[in-house]
Chains A and B, each alone.
Chain A
Amino acid sequence: MTALKLTKTEQGLLAALPDGALAQALQTKGLPNRRVEGWRWSDLRTALREEKPLAKTFDGALPTEILSVSDATTLIFANGVLQTLGDLPDGVTLEQAGPTASGETNLPAGLAQSLADKKITLSITKPVKEKIYLRFIAKGSGAINTHLVVKLSQGASAHFVESYESADNPFVNGLATFDLAQESHLTRSILQPSAPEAIMVQNSFVKMAARARYDQTLIGFGGAYTRFETRIDGQGDDLTINLATAYLLSGKNHFDSTSEIRHHGLAANTEQLTKGIVRDQARAVFQGKFYVARGAQKTVANMQHKALMLSEQSEVDAKPELEIYADDVECAHGNSVGALDPALIFYMRQRGLSEEQVRTMLIGAFLGEVLQQISDETLRNALNDKIANAMEAGHEF
């Protein structure tokens, strides 16, 4: 086998990695690129043509909160480093350890494990009412790695609000693993504001024991390259899984939502809804896969992806996949890509609404279904405002 010619970025990463399987994988395969299954539409290697040395310490004042989250404890990661933290709610503990050697075969995830400043472990041992707001703030042009480990004990519950805010042109690479014990319930509400020059990969690996519940809502505006990958390993019976994603892309932003939900236990109930808007020359990628193992009878799983394209130059690539080995299941997927109906626009304008008002109203209604997944009303309204403001600002979604 001829050795791969590594890019500058890859060479830099290789030098930073300890010897081992990950370094070897990087050396032989390079960063994930269009020739690799699952990365065809989101070529990380090309996106990282320019070298990204490890980022320097965050410099200057932190930006003001982009999301006002009431009744929450805030943890701020600035260029990957956890800032001083206040009191944690009762039932939550946090540990910091050095980076771990990685056995990951997923390259970005492995890099995050190996190169993160610290491995941060959050343990949640009981139902926690207070929300936990994680702000990941990045700036500059370096590589930023974070590694978060979240463990929910039996019967524990928590609501994470997360924002991924990137200024300038960094490479932000995060790995978060979630271990949900029996009857635990994790809610994640995630906002990713537009970052037209930033490159970001966020991996979420979720493991679920019996009767656990995982609710994730993601509102993404994309960036030079943005990829959210969610992998759920449903081990126990009677799981509840809700994934709701809304994307609003403008300019040349790229947003990739990739997920794989593996059902191994009985009678899981999975709902996945992704709705998005692309305009200008933006590009959305949706890859969703449901795997249902032979023994996972009575699984009910529904995957829907609907996109609206508002310009000729925008692009939506979608790959919904079902891989089912059990015979007594209800699994469905739907995928549609369309445009706003000119006849409807005319109808609404005839009633007195301007073209912009019509678009705002129709897009808001289209995405409303995703926001409905957020039961916390204040938070839902705050995220709704983000969308409305973005639309009012016109092209600057």
Chain B
Amino acid sequence: MLKIENLHVTVGESEIIKGLSLEVPAGEVHAVMGPNGSGKSTLAYAVAGRSGYEVTKGDITLNSKALNEMSPDERAAAGLFLSFQSPMEIPGVAVMNFIRTALNAQRKQRGEKEISAAEFLRFARAKAKVVGLSDTKLKRPFNVGFSGGEKKRMEMLQMAIMAPAFAIMDETDSGLDIDALKMVGDVVNDLRAPENGGASRGFLVITHYQRLLDHIKPDRIHVLADGRIVKSGGPELAAELETHGYDQFAGEAA
């Protein structure tokens, strides 16, 4: 599914990702944990194709399609979704208008039929209930004046609507209370359900804490330190990290 091989990423003058390899097979959820500044967000941006995050070496493929040379929107059409750590506001553009236009742009690029306004509205409203956003919020300019928690709900709404082949969730849990964490779990688990095509879908969950992983059961956990994966293991690794912290990897990263 998502395959990253010997990835090197430079931001400005500094190399942040220094030879990272990672493979998430279809149907699996992998978590990436690591201390601040270890390169977690850089990894997410590089995979999504943000300019300024220069891949100097290595390959990123999604379902064997090379992403490296694709623009961010081509990657989105290929099925890649990034839930942002700090979602943006779009003044003057209504929530529903933005999501529908974006969804249709993806569909068009994939050669699929565009979704009608009415059909979209029904679908989006149902998903909005799941993530806990009111109808009034959906009519507002996108994220403008929304709280941090509401913005994260908006990320989950888009993920639920777009039902991407592969989602990277960059600290979606930060700033969320326990109920909201459960909601994130519901959205992910719904997308993982076999009847919703979960067997061909993958997730990479970037987080500091174990608590989100109580709601989303990862198949593998990778520890990122200083731009490299320094340890990989099963779900039990999260608890170990919670107890012992990341200090144990300081030596390995250096």
Which A residues have a C-beta under 8 Å from some C-beta of B? 341-344, 346-355, 357, 361-362, 364-366, 368-369
Residue of A nearest to B93 (CB): A365
- From A348, A350, A355, A357, contact of B90 by CB (8 A): A348
With beta carbons under 8 angstroms apart, the residue of B48, B73, B141 that contacts A353 is B73
> Contacts A350-B50, A352-B73 given; 17 further ones with Cβ under 8 A?
A343-B88, A346-B48, A347-B88, A348-B88, A348-B102, A350-B72, A350-B76, A350-B84, A351-B106, A351-B162, A352-B105, A352-B162, A353-B101, A357-B101, A362-B90, A365-B92, A366-B91
Where chain A touches its partner, the secondary structure class is: helix
Complex CA gap A350/B90 in Å reads 14
Contact A352 B76 (CB under 8 A): yes
Most buried by B among A354, A364, A366: A354
What's the minimum C-beta distance from A359 to chain B, rounded to whole angstroms?
12
Pairwise interchain contact A355-B92, C-beta atoms closer than 8 A: no
Q: In the complex, how many angstroms separate the beta carbon of B140 from the nearest chain A beta carbon?
A: 13
B90, A344: Cβ atoms closer than 8 Å:
yes
CB pair B92–A368 under 8 Å, yes or no, is yes
B191 at the interface (CB under 8 A from A): no
Which chain B residue lies CB-closest to A354?
B73
In the assembly, what is the distance between CA of A346 and CA of B75, in Å?
Answer: 12
Residue pair B77, A352 in contact (C-beta under 8 Å): yes
A362 and B98 CA atoms in complex are apart in Å by 11
Q: Are A350 and B71 in contact (CB under 8 A)?
A: no
Closest to B87 in A: A347
Number of chain B interface residues as a range: 20 to 34
* Interfacial chain A residues near B109, Cβ < 8 Å: 352
The smallest beta-carbon distance between A56 and chain B, in angstroms, is 46
Q: Tell me how far the C-beta of B233 lies from the nearest C-beta in chain A, rounded to whole angstroms.
A: 30
Residues on B lying within 8 angstroms of A by beta carbon are 48-52, 71-73, 75-77, 81-82, 84, 87-93, 98-99, 101-103, 105-106, 109, 141, 158, 162
> Which of A347, A352, A357, A368 has the largest number of chain B CB atoms within 10 A?
A352
Q: What distance in Å separates the Cβ of A321 from its nearest Cβ neighbour in chain B?
A: 27
A278–chain B nearest beta-carbon distance, Å? 19
Of the candidates B72, B88, B99, the one having the most CB atoms from chain A within 10 angstroms of its own CB is B72
Contact present for B102 and A344 (CB under 8 Å): no
Determine the chain A residues whose CB is within 8 A of the CB of B162 once the complex forms: 351-352
Q: Which of chain B's residues have a CB closer than 8 A to the CB of A369?
A: 92
Whole-angstrom distance between the alpha carbons of A344 and B77 in the complex?
18
Pair A349/B101 contact, Cβ less than 8 Å = no
Chosen A-B contacts, 10 in total, with CB atoms closer than 8 Å, are A343-B88, A347-B84, A350-B50, A350-B82, A351-B98, A352-B76, A352-B102, A354-B105, A355-B73, A361-B98
Please indicate the chain A residues that have their CB under 8 angstroms from the CB of B76 in the complex. 349-352
> Which 9 pairs across A and B sit closest by C-beta, in order of nearness?
A365-B92, A352-B106, A351-B102, A349-B72, A352-B76, A347-B88, A352-B105, A352-B102, A349-B73
CB distance from B167 to the nearest CB of A (A): 11
Chain B nearest Cβ from A330, distance in angstroms: 24
A353–B92 CB distance below 8 A: no
- B105:A353 contact, CB within 8 angstroms: yes
Residue in chain A with minimal CB distance to B109: A352
Residues of B within 8 A of A355 (CB): 71, 73
| Nearest neighbor of B77 in chain A, beta-carbon distance | A352
